[in-house]
Structure 1
Amino acid sequence: MYEFTPNDIAQIQNHGLSLDVVQGQLADFATGFPYSDIVRPAVIGDGVRKMLGDEYGAYYDAHRDEYKIVKFVPASGAATRMFKDLFEFLSSGQMNKTTQMVLDNLEKFAFWDDLKLVLPENPTAHDVIECLITERGLNYGAMPKALLQFHKYADANRTALAEHLVEGAQYATTNGIVNIHFTVSPEHIAGFDDLLMRVLPEFESVFGVKYDVSKSVQKSSTDTIAVNLDNTPFRNDDGSLLFRPAGHGALIENLNDIDGDLIFVKNIDNVCPDDARDSTIVQKKRLAGLAMKLQARIFEYMRALDMGTANTNEIVDFINDNLGIVVDAGADLRAVLNRPLRVCGIIKNTGEPGGGPFWVRDADGTLSLQIVEPGQIAPENIGVLKNGEFFNPVDLVCMPRDYMGNKFDLTKYVDTTAGFISEKSKNGRVLRAMERPGLWNGAMAKWNTVFVETTLDTFTPVKVVSDLLGAGHTVNE
């Protein structure tokens, strides 16, 4: 056990953490986390359902008003990495491919209308990029993706945040209300509020809906302590401990606070403009329709188990065929059925960096379907991920209530061994950082999981600024 000073203990408690939790984090640094025991990739007919038909979307539309539907959008990260090549150009003076592409296509970007207002006369390349990503101008390099102008329309431009509002009106309304929740960094709350004030009245008028927009910040109590290479606590120059955000897995706490019956989860940068959205709407409704149907069956079986009228063999077959876990008649069927349910849209693997669907063996030998990220795979097995047929685009429908209508405590369904450790630096000093199990992999590892193939055009992420010039982000005028 590490001996913390009274000042350390006060800092730990002020951060919303306990001494036991931090000692546990130090122990995890020392022992490390086990790699996932991958058995085989999930494929069509073995863990992945083929694309769903129209009947699932029709079922969703027929029953949606019976559910409180919420659209949950992780949106707290800054866009710094999106402009990495542009920052490198500013610091080195060396032109690179991404920066040149931006300069060659300035007028095609939705942010051009704002950028040209802050440029000096006869700007150099350095002026343009500096005015785009630094405080000299738009400061896009320090802003969240949500507040960046993403799409250029004939009569206006739209931010990523605005596109999610529009998208929500087109598939996530329930009884005329669009419930949408964004996770936000504290320093960006004012920017979110300002934008919402400007766009909500227009969208409510255009789509004939009312928006109920809520926001939350990643809780400091989910942060993890940073350590030196010898696993002793890393200290700032003033001697204080360093705590770091523990990755998107910490957002399971935010998701747990959502009051909803059916929750759509999708990242902030995965949006497309109006004329490319039809496929997204169709696929979202179908995923939700399947989630509703499966949940209804689960509830039916839970009630039958309560009354002693259940057909055990039928339930075992249902679980094995539908819920992403392999059980036999000796299993505790109530415990298996009575868990949060998620239906995950997945797409063909085209080489994008990220995770994919696999059959994984748990510590107790149970086989279950999991989304596995690169950090969870032993280096010698990374080819298994790259060669998998499917990719996880983060396209989830979550059903967080039990058959009695009570909300599950989602923090009880996390695989706490699915975190990972990486090397970072602060002020030129190397440190080890710990990320919690990711939101859609380890943090949901003990959910009932269904994978469904969806179309490639539902995934149009913006990882670098030049992605905004791609087919999924340009508007046909």
Structure 2
Amino acid sequence: MDISTPAPQDITSNFSELDEAEFRLRGITKEIVRNQYETLMINRKEVHILEGAQEENGVVKQEKATVKKLKQQFKKESKNLNLCHFIVSSNQYNEIVATLEKFYAQFDPEKESFGRYVNRNQSYQLATFFRKIKRFPFYKTLQQNLKKHNESARHTDLGKLHMTHEILYGANINFNTLPKMLFPFYKRLKKSSVTLFEGRFLQALREGSKFKHVAMQFCVPSKSQKQFNDVLNNISTPRVIKKMKNVTVNFIHCPVQSETICVNNKNEIVREKDNSILFSTPGHGVYLSALNEIKDDIIYISGAENVKSKKIQLPLNRFRRVLMSQLLSSRRLADTIITELRDENYQPNPQRTEEVIRLIKKEFNIVLPSEIQNFTTEEKNKLICEYLDKPLRVCAAIKGSQPGESKPCWISHANGKHLALVHPEELNHLSEEQDILYKNIEYYVPGEMACSIQRYNGEKYNLAEYCDNKEGFRSVRFHKDQDIACLQRPGLWNGNMLKWNTILIEMPQRLYQPFKGLEDLIS
């Protein structure tokens, strides 16, 4: 798709009365829609990478003794702590459905073979999926649905189209209407399929006894709320309810007024068949306001997808406790320094100030601007507190690469360098130098992080003050029969946490086995 961005034009004169009525129902105005369009058309200022984070330069590889100490400390503290487990799907856009929809819309077995389609579109996951289709959780239902088609066509290229249609729209499967968190991903006792939602719910339930209270916040599409309620009711057996004494489950929806327009390759607003404007969920960044309302001691944010293998769940939960324990330890250290330096009776000590500057670089990845050397000790102390008095997150970082995942980078920000998590779509891809820098970064972040949003004096931070104020960027997706560009808001752990302090802990690769693509449905 050509994603060039011409000069913005005023599109408000093209809106019909029905369009404006839709805007009123959504609680938006045509001026807001115009601003969305202009944002899609304008080349925004991209992130500028200085270097990638690596071991001893942003990423900590913890020693066994440190891990043991953190686990022991966590065991002592957790019973008195309230935990909020904030679970998001990495993208409301469903890559699995999009891959199948694109194949169903574009593949014509009379014009090309399936193999040629796969090679032309590099859809190798699609080839694997059909080769191992018998492992598909709904295979028996699929076979039943296919009886209405010609028996001889089932193992042909045309048969693959029939199967795709039944998977997307067929009775008792109907993936086209399922949110990603309700996709089945493994068999339980060889009888029933377990969804991502169930997997995360049961995973968190096992951790509930370790805390004073656990609040599970699932970010889900509002139109799918009934489906989630039905699944939750089905798994809420007396035994499960007994375990939920200190666990609550809540659902968070993307506000309808946050949804944004999309444009086609002619930069025209995309419309549905009934001529209504297509609105798209602008990514998980829209949940920042919900995050801002949480009052628990620890907020643990994770993507819904990391539950593919049951074997990793116990060690993964142990690793999460390490992140949470590190968060508590680092928060205490930050609060101690701020309290010390802001005490009205504190006598400025140049030696202590230089010691703190080195300490916050080592422990919090805080790099103060170079001109601080010209400041007085009092001015240095004030700046230290300003940089340290921010929301804090301790994130997992994995050595290796994973397509589409954010990477930890030192970026140019304000008056110096800052450690941030950068998504590939935030880059200036016209710069070969930036592309090479990003490609060669050794680590990626899997969306596993423990967060603290309370200040040293007990007050809560206003998270809106610590995010990137850019309105968003273009993200290309497949919809129906065409590529479209949607407005993606700064990601929850990307632009929306840009001004947070970030600590990175190396996570073993084996603990991240995400459920994302077609191959995962049959693995």
TM-score norm. by structure 1 comes to 0.85
Deviates more, 1:10-19 or 1:279-288: 10-19
Q: How does 1:222-301 map to 2 (within 5 A)?
A: 222-226=258-262, 243-301=279-337
Contact kept in structure 2, 1:279 and 1:457, CA below 8 Å: no
Post-superposition offset of 1:183: 0.8
**Aligned mate of 1:124, from 154, 157, 160:** 154
Mapped partners of 1:370, 1:461: distance in 2? 22
Q: Tell me which residue corresponds to 1:460.
A: 513
Q: How does 1:53-68 map to 2 (within 5 A)?
A: 53-68=67-82
Amino acid of the structure 2 residue aligned with 1:459: Y
- Relative to structure 1, the CA distance from residue 279 to residue 460 in structure 2 (aligned partners, 3 Å threshold; closer, same or farther) is same
Post-superposition offset of 1:270: 1.5
Q: Deviations over 1:237-280 (max 9, x none)?
A: 88876653322222212322333221111111221343332321
- Gapped runs of 5+ residues in structure 1? 471-477
Q: Tell me which residue corresponds to 1:151.
A: 186
Q: Deviations over 1:67-94 (max 9, x none)?
A: 2101111139567421444445544245
Mapped partners of 2:190, 2:481: distance in 1? 47
Mapped partners of 2:141, 2:276: distance in 1? 41
Q: Does residue 72 of structure 2 align to residue 72 of structure 1?
A: no
Mapped partners of 1:135, 1:120: distance in 2? 12
Deviates more, 1:172-181 or 1:63-72: 172-181
Number of equivalences: 469
Instruction: Determine helix, strand or coil for the equivalent of 2:84.
Output: strand
Amino acid of the structure 2 residue aligned with 1:360: I
**Aligned mate of 1:315, from 356, 367, 382:** 356
Q: Tell me which residue corresponds to 1:216.
A: 252
Mapped partners of 1:422, 1:106: distance in 2? 31
Post-superposition offset of 1:120: 3.1
Post-superposition offset of 1:161: 0.8
Deviates more, 1:251-260 or 1:169-178: 169-178
Higher Cα Rg, which structure: 2
Mapped partners of 2:31, 2:92: distance in 1? 31
Q: Tell me which residue corresponds to 1:404.
A: 457
Q: Tell me which residue corresponds to 1:142.
A: 177
- Relative to structure 1, the CA distance from residue 229 to residue 74 in structure 2 (aligned partners, 3 Å threshold; closer, same or farther) is same
Instruction: Determine helix, strand or coil for the equivalent of 1:417.
Output: coil
Deviates more, 1:353-362 or 1:310-319: 310-319
Q: Deviations over 1:316-350 (max 9, x none)?
A: 23322222321142652332222111111010123
Q: How does 1:143-182 map to 2 (within 5 A)?
A: 143-156=178-191, 157-171=193-207, 173=209, 175=211, 177-182=213-218
Instruction: Determine helix, strand or coil for the equivalent of 1:332.
Output: helix
Contact kept in structure 2, 1:355 and 1:391, CA below 8 Å: yes
Q: Deviations over 1:254-311 (max 9, x none)?
A: 3223332211111112213433323211211111110010011122223223423555
Instruction: Determine helix, strand or coil for the equivalent of 2:505.
Output: strand
Amino acid of the structure 2 residue aligned with 1:133: L
Q: Deviations over 1:434-461 (max 9, x none)?
A: 2211111111001111111101022111
Contact kept in structure 1, 2:62 and 2:506, CA below 8 Å: yes
Q: Tell me which residue corresponds to 1:183.
A: 219
Q: Tell me which residue corresponds to 1:473.
A: none
Mapped partners of 1:467, 1:239: distance in 2? 36
- Relative to structure 1, the CA distance from residue 432 to residue 207 in structure 2 (aligned partners, 3 Å threshold; closer, same or farther) is closer
Q: Tell me which residue corresponds to 1:474.
A: none
- Relative to structure 1, the CA distance from residue 429 to residue 89 in structure 2 (aligned partners, 3 Å threshold; closer, same or farther) is closer
Q: Does residue 404 of structure 2 align to residue 353 of structure 1?
A: yes
Contact kept in structure 2, 1:69 and 1:174, CA below 8 Å: no
Q: Deviations over 1:357-383 (max 9, x none)?
A: 111111x22211001111222222212
Mapped partners of 2:337, 2:267: distance in 1? 49
Contact kept in structure 1, 2:305 and 2:515, CA below 8 Å: yes
Mapped partners of 2:362, 2:333: distance in 1? 13
Q: Deviations over 1:133-166 (max 9, x none)?
A: 3234401233112112111132543211111012
Mapped partners of 1:234, 1:98: distance in 2? 28
Q: Tell me which residue corresponds to 2:60.
A: 49
- Relative to structure 1, the CA distance from residue 173 to residue 263 in structure 2 (aligned partners, 3 Å threshold; closer, same or farther) is farther
- Gapped runs of 5+ residues in structure 2? 1-8, 119-123, 347-351, 373-379
Instruction: Determine helix, strand or coil for the equivalent of 1:451.
Output: strand
Contact kept in structure 2, 1:109 and 1:151, CA below 8 Å: no
Contact kept in structure 2, 1:79 and 1:142, CA below 8 Å: no
Contact kept in structure 1, 2:84 and 2:215, CA below 8 Å: yes
Contact kept in structure 1, 2:135 and 2:522, CA below 8 Å: yes
Deviates more, 1:107-116 or 1:292-301: 107-116
Deviates more, 1:227-236 or 1:163-172: 227-236
Q: Deviations over 1:380-433 (max 9, x none)?
A: 221222211001111111112112323222122111237322456878798653
**Aligned mate of 2:466, from 394, 410, 413:** 413
Instruction: Determine helix, strand or coil for the equivalent of 1:277.
Output: helix
Q: Deviations over 1:185-237 (max 9, x none)?
A: 11110000000011133662685754310001111233345568898977888
TM-score norm. by structure 2 comes to 0.78
Q: Tell me which residue corresponds to 2:26.
A: 15
Q: Does residue 384 of structure 2 align to residue 372 of structure 1?
A: no
Mapped partners of 1:208, 1:427: distance in 2? 41
Q: Tell me which residue corresponds to 1:39.
A: 50
Instruction: Determine helix, strand or coil for the equivalent of 1:361.
Output: strand
Mapped partners of 1:384, 1:244: distance in 2? 31
- Relative to structure 1, the CA distance from residue 101 to residue 27 in structure 2 (aligned partners, 3 Å threshold; closer, same or farther) is closer
Identity %: 22
- Relative to structure 1, the CA distance from residue 422 to residue 166 in structure 2 (aligned partners, 3 Å threshold; closer, same or farther) is closer
Q: Tell me which residue corresponds to 1:200.
A: 236
Mapped partners of 2:515, 2:464: distance in 1? 30
Q: Deviations over 1:100-154 (max 9, x none)?
A: 5334434434444655665538693535443333234401233112112111132
